[in-house]
Amino acid sequence: MPSKEMIQKFAELAVKTGANVQKGQPVIVRSSTETIELAREIAKQAYIAGAKRVEIQWSDDYVSRYGLDYMDLETLKEVPEWVVKRAEHAIESNACFISITSPIPGLNAGVDPIKPQEAGKAMMRKLSFFQTHMMGNKAQWTIVAAPNAIWAQKIFPELDYDESVEALWEAILKASRVTHDNDPVNDWAEHNAILSKHNAILNDYQFDALHFKNSLGTDITIKLVENHVWAGGNEVTTQGIEFNPNIPTEETFTMPHKYGVNGKVVATKPLNYQGNLIEDFWLEFKDGKVINYDAEKEKETLKNLVEFDEGSSYLGEIALISHDSPISNSGILFFNTLFDENASCHMALGRAYPMNVENGIHMKPEELEKIGYNHSMAHSDFMFGSEDMQIIGKMKDGTDVVIFKDGNFVI
């Protein structure tokens, strides 16, 4: 474990910069049993920041795995009424959310993929109102990460158990901009300012489409929706409260047009989906839809993702990150999207973010769909950036603007 002081700094960052807990606001902390110490410190810091009440919702991935093994499909698909009520209550009481992620790689190996797929679908169906609430930035939410030994061993197999956990803590804190001699809350204010500058430049251009090309075989054109908004760094709730949904974050992202994606994209990092690692894969799009794909490993899992629902075979996000960025330079593959997506340009299959279009968070679903918004219950980011990535911005008047040269921003 890092020192008490470092854990406190990290927890404070999650509370102040991440969720930006307001005086008198209820806070819900979602934590794995792998990350008890951090969850406790976050709860404490939330109270210090003025939280009305802090509730911890624990999950245990091992017990969840037993559930997948021993429960029958019908039971797995049952969503108890109290789970729905709990989500309704969180919305009514204007709670904000702090999630601690600590994935256990390989835990679901050997599970019949239909089971988590169907259980997930049933849950999403019942709780889609809650997802709309969160994705529409109706309340503040944030995700931070903390290690567990199996995850640490996966990243640092050459170290022993304790050393690998220490090493992963160090990597997570560094990527999250928490160091021994800094004020993370201050550093994040500066970092957010740099990201918003980038957003502003891209917003001014209002590119009609982006063209990506590299030597691995990526050659794809992505049309952007009219009046798209580039976002990244901090966001603002519909009530006007700033928050940072992801710690860390390095990305600048916007909304592709659902039916405007054509070409082939080759992934450059594995994708962890439902506990399985999809490796060395590519996807081909026509008029927005995935029409062909392949993977060296876990093709079946990729199929589950693409066929999850109608929208999961279309894009909902395109994000730009310079190859020369802190997480990318660390050279560490975290096997976790929160980190790996910040090391590389990425796109997401599935649901788009309403805030990525002007006035989007106030639009009705049917209005959003009209402008090219992709609706889905899935949202899975995968990485395709490379050191030789070239990105050309195509203006409506036919002008081309070089955005990325040799993997990095040049505007």
Interface residues toward Zn ion, by CB under 5 A: 251, 253, 317, 319, 348, 381
Helices (H), 277-352: 299-306, 326-330, 337-340
Give the contacts of 366 (CB within 8 A, at least 6 positions apart). none
Q: Which is nearer to Zn ion, 172 or 343 (CB)?
A: 343
Residue closer to Zn ion (CB basis): 253 or 293: 253
DSSP string across 18-81: II-PPTT--EEEEEEGGGHHHHHHHHHHHHHTT-S-EEEEEE-HHHHHHHHHHS-HHHHT---H
Side-chain-facing half-sphere of 45: CA atoms under 13 Å:
25
Q: Which residues contact 90 (CB under 8 A, 6 or more apart)?
A: 26, 28, 97, 130
Q: Is the CB of 25 or the CB of 192 nearer to Zn ion?
A: 192
Strands (E), 113-194: 141-145
Q: What is the DSSP letter of 166?
A: H
CB closer to Zn ion out of 41 and 251: 251
Minimum separation from the CB atom of position 380 to Zn ion (A): 8
Is the Cβ of residue 254 or residue 276 nearer to Zn ion in the bound state? Answer: 254
Q: Specify the residue, 26 or 316, whose C-beta has the smaller distance to Zn ion.
A: 316
Q: How far apart are CA 198 and CA 210, in angstroms?
A: 16
For 15, phi then psi, to 5°, come to -75, -45
Q: How far is the CB of 123 from Zn ion (least distance, A)?
A: 19
Beta strands 219-224 and 256-266 are antiparallel
CB atoms within 10 A of CB 27: 26
Smallest gap, in angstroms, from Cβ of residue 383 to Zn ion? 10
- Nearest distance, CB of residue 214 and Zn ion, angstroms: 19
Q: At its nearest, how many Å lie between Zn ion and the CB of residue 245?
A: 10
Single-letter code of the amino acid located at 34: E
In angstroms, what is the C-alpha Rg of the chain?
20
Of 61 and 251, the one with the shorter C-beta distance to Zn ion is: 251
Nearest residue (CB) to Zn ion, 165 versus 352: 352
Cite the beta strand spans of 153-305 per DSSP E: 209-213, 219-224, 235-236, 242-243, 252-254, 256-266, 271-273, 276-286, 289-297
* Min dist. Cβ of residue 379 to Zn ion (A): 6
Burial of 296 (0-12, 13-18, 19+ CB in 10 A): exposed
- Least distance to Zn ion, CB of residue 168, Å: 22
Q: How far is the CB of 145 from Zn ion (least distance, A)?
A: 15
Q: Would you say 2 or 311 has its CB closer to Zn ion?
A: 311
Closest distance between Zn ion and the C-beta of residue 156, in Å? 26
